[in-house]
Each structure stands twice: as structure tokens, then as C-alpha cells.
């Protein structure tokens, strides 16, 4: 049974294009057994009608503070007390700023002031508005006040920009809300994860690397934080935002990642190696840019990089160690071989011959092998998969 079963959720809808997703969010919350009452700001009503949300929620939609009829049915203080969770989705930059200032100039901000219930917001705005210092500082303030921040996601926006600021999908918001009522499966645990590619320098301007975007590792880091773990993310070069709350160590080469990993893994409970680490690096890095020679071919001598995850698994106080296997053929046999050879507790095998999953895609599908177990996760978003992997790791850890 979902932890949202019988929970009473006050859904605040503010004025952004993502307000249309609030209709689906009501449904997803109801699927988990929650009752939903909706409060809309005047701007929200420009994007979606109260009638739509009333029909979906099965309850009258509250829009005004000074409405004798609405107050007679359920006064605003009563409404604030009714809520087990106040969830604002979408939350615009303007609403977030008013929330931070403690304003009470409309029904929704007044309810936020009057309610003792836990609060969560799903920000939705243009990427530049999201990145701006004032919004980021408002988000930090809300985080300090223990307001849960769901998202935002990154991608193309209604205005044509690309970047962070899109509201999370309704199903992801409902899952995040569910997690708020579930004691974290990794509460009190320290988790270290490697993510992204490494770059192995050839000369000052060239390097050897691969197509890893970091999406898989960053999603796992976020899921681990949601599950209550403290998380250190050791990341190769990526273009994505790290999850809020992670300690981020940026590295470039496999040697840098090796040093950071061994040091951070020392005191950790769990180590996950999702990075696509270069197996080899140039034996020597040219000091100056290598000039084109007369010959049509060129040879670069490579030397083996240390195996980071194997070295962590060989530590005296070995954390629960999870590796990944990126294979283009014989997935199961190669993955099981790595599990054994690298002394891992689990290995997550993905088929990287497919372009729609694995490297640099938003989705993945994996098989997870342990010394005596197989768990198969069919294709889903990397964020959904990350939560499933974290649940599996929590179950498999000793002492569970
Ligand atoms: O970043 P994304 O675009 O989201 O893509 C995700 C991913 C495909 C990169 C990820 O899901 C994945 O498969 N990561 C592991 C990639 C890889 O390097 O696999 P491998 O089979 O070559 O290595 C096996 C394991 O050893 C991995 O856990 C790897 O991190 C680790 N390793 C490898 C070499 C090395 N020198 N040190 C290591 O720790």
C-alpha cells in the first residue's frame, strides 16, 4: 500500500504553463490513495480552469481569500489544518519569492503561512529565471526551512529555451511526495558514486573520452539523497546540474577519479561505480599541441588506468560495492565475469549497443546480478530506474 494512502494533500497551483500538468498530478496522487483539494492563484486560472481541477479532484477549488461562500464550506484556517501535505505544483519564481518573504497576500500564501503540514514545491520557470541568483538563494532558504524541492527537470521549454526549469512530470512528483511519508531506506548511510566520463589528455587540446552524459549516475545520487543517504558524487565532466544536497567532487581523468574515490570510499557504506572510466590513457601527455606529421597514420601509446571499483572492493573496510557493466554483446556472461573478477556485491548490466538506452539517453533498462541473484528492470526513465536500484541496494545490504 502506498504511503500516500488516506493522506490529505492541498495542491497549490500557481500561474505557469506547466499548470496543465496539475490536472494529471491530481490523478496520480489519487492513484496512490490520497484525497486532493486544490487552491489556485488568480494567474493559475489564466492557464487552466478551476472547473477542470474541481471535476478531477472531486472537491470545490479554492481561489479567493475573501469568499464568504467558500469560507462557509471550509474556512482557510480549516483548510490549512486539513492538509497532511501542502504541495505547490507548479511553483513559479514569483510564488517562491513570496513564500520566502512570508507574504500572505492571497489565499495560497496565507495557507502556506497557516499550515503546520510538511511542504513541497515543484518549481517551473524559464531556465534563466531558475539559474538567477535570487531564485537560487530563495531555493536555498526554502531548503533550510525543510521545504522539499521536487526538480526541476532539464530540457526544452515552452519559450524555446533549453535548460533546467521544467516542472517534473506528474508521476515523478507523485512518487517524490510518496517518499516524503516513507522513512528513507538509506537513512544514516554514506554513499559515494562515480558518474560521467573521464577525459584522458593526449596534449593540451585533445583527449580520449566517451559518450557518458552522467545522467544515470546523477539520477542515482538524487535517489540516494531522497532515500536519506548522505551522498558524495565524484563526477567526470558533464553538462548537467548535480542534485541538490550532494557533495560534488569534479574530476577530469581516471587517475583523479581514482584518488578521490579511494579517499571518499574510506568512510562510506556504499560505493557505486556508474562512471564510464577510460580503461587506458596516453602513456605520455605532449606538452605542446601535437603537429600534423607527413605520415597518414599516427600511433599513440596507451597505458592501463587503475581499476577504481576493483580497488575500492579490495579495501580492508570494503563498502557495499556496486559496479556497472556497459556491454554491446554477451551482456550476462561479461557482467557476471566482472562481478567476480572485481569482487563486487552487485553489478548493473546495460546493453550499450542500443542508442535509445544507456549512454546519453534519458531511459535505461538493466539486469542486476549478485553472487546468487538476478533482478531485471525493463525500460524506464533513468530517474525511475535510479529509485528502483536504490531500493534494491537497500534490500541487499547486510543487516537489512
Ligand atoms: O552517463 P550516461 O550517459 O547516463 O550513461 C550511463 C552509462 C551507460 C555510462 C552507465 O549506465 C554505465 O554503464 N556505466 C559503466 C560504464 C563502463 O565503464 O562500464 P565497463 O563495463 O567498462 O566498466 C565496468 C565497471 O568498472 C564500471 O562500474 C566502471 O565504472 C568500472 N571501472 C572501469 C574502468 C576503470 N578503470 N575503473 C572502474 O572503476
| 250-288: pLDDT as tens digits | 999 999 999 999 999 999 999 999 999 999 999 999 999
- How far from each other are the two terminal CA atoms of the chain, in whole angstroms? 20
Q: How far apart are CA 379 and CA 400, in angstroms?
A: 27
pTM, rounded to two decimals: 0.68
Residues with CB under 6 A from ligand 1: 194, 196, 212-216, 254, 273-277, 279, 305, 307-309, 323-326, 338, 350, 352, 358-360
Whole-number CA gyration radius for the chain: 24
275 CA distance to ligand 1 centroid (A)? Answer: 5
**Residue 86 predicted with pLDDT over 90:** yes
Percentage, residues of the chain above pLDDT 90: 80
Q: Would you place residue 400 in the very low, low, confident or very high pLDDT band (cuts 50, 70, 90)?
A: low
Closest ligand 1 atom to residue 338 Cα is 24
Residue 342 CA, closest ligand 1 atom number: 26
Give distance in angstroms: CA of 328 to centre of ligand 1. 13
Looking from the CA of residue 215, the nearest atom of ligand 1 is: 4
**Phi/psi at 373 (nearest 5 deg)?**
-145, 155
Query: How large is the average pLDDT for residues 303-319?
Result: 97
Boundaries of every domain in the chain: 8-178, 190-396
User: pLDDT tens digits for 207-235?
Assistant: 999 999 999 999 999 899 888 899 999 99
- Where does the pLDDT of residue 246 fall: very low under 50, low under 70, confident under 90, or very high at 90 and above? very high
In CATH terms, are 8-178 and 190-396 the same topology? Answer: yes
Distance 243 CA to ligand 1 centre (A): 20
Q: 42 near 106, Cβ under 8 Å?
A: yes
Can you give the pLDDT at residue 159?
79
For 153-184, what is each residue's pLDDT tens digit?
Answer: 988 877 788 888 999 999 999 999 998 887 78
Reading the block at residue 117, the C-alpha cell is 503540514
Q: Which atom of ligand 1 is nearest to the CA of 334?
A: 21
So what's the pLDDT on residue 237?
98
Check whether domain 190-396 has CATH 3.30.930.10, yes or no: no
- The pLDDT confidence band at residue 312, using thresholds 50, 70 and 90, is very high
CA atoms within 13 A on the CB side of 364: 32
The confidence score (pLDDT) of residue 248 equals 97
Mean pLDDT of 355-362: 90
Top mutation candidate among 222, 326, 328 for ligand 1, by most atoms within 8 Å of CB:
326
Q: Whose CA is nearest to atom 36 of ligand 1?
A: 307
Q: What is the per-residue pLDDT across 53-79, written as a single tens digit (0 to 9) for each? A: 999 999 999 998 777 676 666 678 888
8-178 maps to which CATH number? Answer: 3.40.50.1950
CB count, 10 Å around CB of 4?
Answer: 26
Catalytic residue, candidates 112, 159, 231, 380: 159
Residues 107-123: tens digit of each pLDDT: 999 999 999 889 999 99
Active site includes 159? yes
Q: Is the pLDDT of residue 335 over 90?
A: yes
pLDDT attached to residue 72: 66
pLDDT of residue 73: 63
Amino acid at each position: 500500500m502506498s504511503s500516500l494512502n488516506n493522506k490529505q494533500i492541498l495542491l497549490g497551483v500557481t500561474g505557469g504553463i506547466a499548470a496543465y500538468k496539475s490536472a494529471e498530478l491530481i490523478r496520480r496522487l489519487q492513484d496512490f490513495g490520497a484525497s486532493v483539494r486544490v487552491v489556485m492563484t488568480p494567474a493559475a486560472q489564466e492557464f487552466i480552469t478551476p472547473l477542470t481541477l474541481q471535476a478531477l479532484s472531486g472537491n470545490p477549488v479554492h481561489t479567493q481569500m475573501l469568499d464568504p461562500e467558500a469560507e462557509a464550506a471550509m474556512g482557510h484556517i480549516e483548510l490549512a489544518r486539513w492538509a497532511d501535505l501542502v504541495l505547490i505544483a507548479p511553483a513559479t519564481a514569483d510564488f517562491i519569492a513570496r513564500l520566502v518573504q512570508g507574504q500572505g497576500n492571497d489565499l495560497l500564501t496565507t495557507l502556506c503561512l497557516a499550515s503546520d503540514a510538511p511542504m513541497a514545491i515543484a518549481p517551473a520557470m524559464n531556465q534563466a529565471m531558475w539559474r538567477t541568483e535570487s531564485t537560487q538563494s530563495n531555493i536555498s532558504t526554502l531548503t533550510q526551512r525543510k521545504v522539499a524541492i521536487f526538480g526541476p527537470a532539464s530540457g526544452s521549454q515552452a519559450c524555446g529555451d533549453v535548460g533546467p526549469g521544467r516542472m517534473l512530470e506528474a508521476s515523478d512528483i507523485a512518487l517524490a511526495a510518496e517518499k516524503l511519508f516513507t522513512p528513507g531506506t538509506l537513512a544514516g548511510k554514506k554513499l559515494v558514486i562515480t558518474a560521467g566520463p573521464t577525459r584522458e589528455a593526449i596534449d593540451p587540446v585533445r583527449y580520449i573520452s566517451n559518450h557518458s552524459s552522467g545522467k544515470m549516475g546523477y539520477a542515482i545520487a538524487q535517489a540516494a539523497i531522497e532515500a536519506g543517504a548522505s551522498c558524495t558524487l565524484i563526477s567526470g565532466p558533464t553538462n548537467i546540474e548535480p542534485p541538490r544536497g550532494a557533495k560534488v567532487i569534479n574530476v577530469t581523468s581516471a587517475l583523479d577519479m581514482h584518488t578521490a574515490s579511494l579517499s571518499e570510499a574510506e568512510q562510506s557504506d556504499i560505493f557505486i561505480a556508474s562512471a564510464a572510466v577510460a580503461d587506458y590513457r596516453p602513456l605520455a601527455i605532449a606538452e605542446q599541441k601535437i603537429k600534423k606529421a607527413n605520415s597518414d597514420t599516427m600511433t599513440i601509446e596507451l597505458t592501463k588506468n587503475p581499476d577504481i571499483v576493483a580497488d575500492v572492493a579490495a579495501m580492508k573496510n570494503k563498502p557495499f560495492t556496486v559496479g556497472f557493466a556497459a556491454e554491446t554483446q554477451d551482456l550476462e556472461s561479461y557482467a557476471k565475469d566482472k562481478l567476480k573478477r572485481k569482487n563486487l556485491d552487485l553489478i548493473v548490466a546495460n546493453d550499450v549497443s542500443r542508442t535509445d538506452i544507456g549512454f546519453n539517453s534519458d531511459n535505461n533498462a538493466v539486469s542486476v546480478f549478485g553472487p546468487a541473484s538476478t533482478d531485471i528492470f525493463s525500460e524506464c526513465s533513468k530517474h525511475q530506474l535510479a529509485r528502483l536500484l536504490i531500493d534494491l541496494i537497500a534490500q541487499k545490504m547486510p543487516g537489512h
